[in-house]
Amino acid sequence: MFTPHGAAVLTRAYVDVNHAGNLTNRRSHTGILIYINNSPILWYSKRQNTVETLSFGSEFVALRFVVEMVEALRYKLRYFGVPIDGPTEVLCDNKSVVTNSSVPASTLNKRHNAICYHRMREAQACGMIQVLWIEGKNNLADLFSKTTIAGDTMWNFVNQIFYKSDSVDED
């Protein structure tokens, strides 16, 4: 691995699930958007392989995907010699998932949810990710998980994704 040089980059991931959005087979749809600093560099939209009875389980499956994608991205950046500033912020709009992922003593009953849960908890414990809550109407991953977004809401998300800049002062 190269020695990190230059300014450290901040990584952030938005994740959302359209629970049982497919009316034919009731599978959930995962949407993920990953930023480096203020630039979107990776997005993902795919139907989940399992049918979940609750959105809670669907969100944990999506979080496992995020952990795998963030881990691969962080390894690539480190091998290129790019320093990373702290853990990746993973923004999720399900408060119960954020709460359960932050409390180490919480347990899950379903085995496949528990596997996703422990994978995500391991990533948090080693400082790779930090799961945070974001209000649903501000979650940019909605654009990749919900097929019913249209009109002004869709264009608002597109403008936020591609023209967002926290460092520019607008007068």
- Label the pairing between strands 88-92 and 11-18: parallel
Q: Are 20 and 147 in contact (CB under 8 A)?
A: no
Sheet of 129-133: strand order equals 39-47, 29-36, 11-18, 88-92, 129-133
> pTM of this prediction?
0.76
Q: Check residue 61 and give its pLDDT.
A: 81
Residue 105 located in a structural domain: yes
Token digits of residue 28: 């959930």
So what's the pLDDT on residue 137?
75
Task: Identify whether 25 is part of a domain.
Answer: yes
Give me the CATH number covering residue 147. Answer: 3.30.420.10
Asked, for residue 169, whether it belongs to a domain, the answer is no
Alpha carbon distances (Å) from 9 to 46, 128, 145: 27, 14, 27
Decide if 2 is inside a domain: no
pLDDT tens for the chain, 171 residues long, are 678 788 999 999 999 887 555 556 656 778 889 999 988 898 877 666 665 555 677 788 888 889 999 999 999 998 889 999 999 999 988 887 788 777 777 766 666 677 778 888 889 889 999 999 988 777 776 666 666 665 666 667 666 776 664 443 333
The tally of domains found in the chain comes to: 1
CB 48 within 8 A of CB 31: no
Within 8 A by CB and 6+ apart from 120, the residues are 60, 63, 64, 67, 101, 129, 131
Per-residue model confidence (pLDDT) at position 96: 79
Phi, psi angles (nearest 5°) of residue 47:
-75, 140
Any domain includes 3: no
Residue 47 lies in a domain: yes
- Return the HEC string of 59-98: HHHHHHHHHHHHHHHHHHHHHCCCCECCCEEEEECCHHHH
Q: Could you tell me the two tokens for 91?
A: 């923004």
Q: For residue 128, is it within any domain?
A: yes
Q: Which domain holds residue 131?
A: 11-160
pLDDT of residue 31: 85
pLDDT computed for residue 169 by the predictor: 38
Task: Indicate whether 34 belongs to any domain.
Answer: yes
What's the pLDDT at 170?
Answer: 39
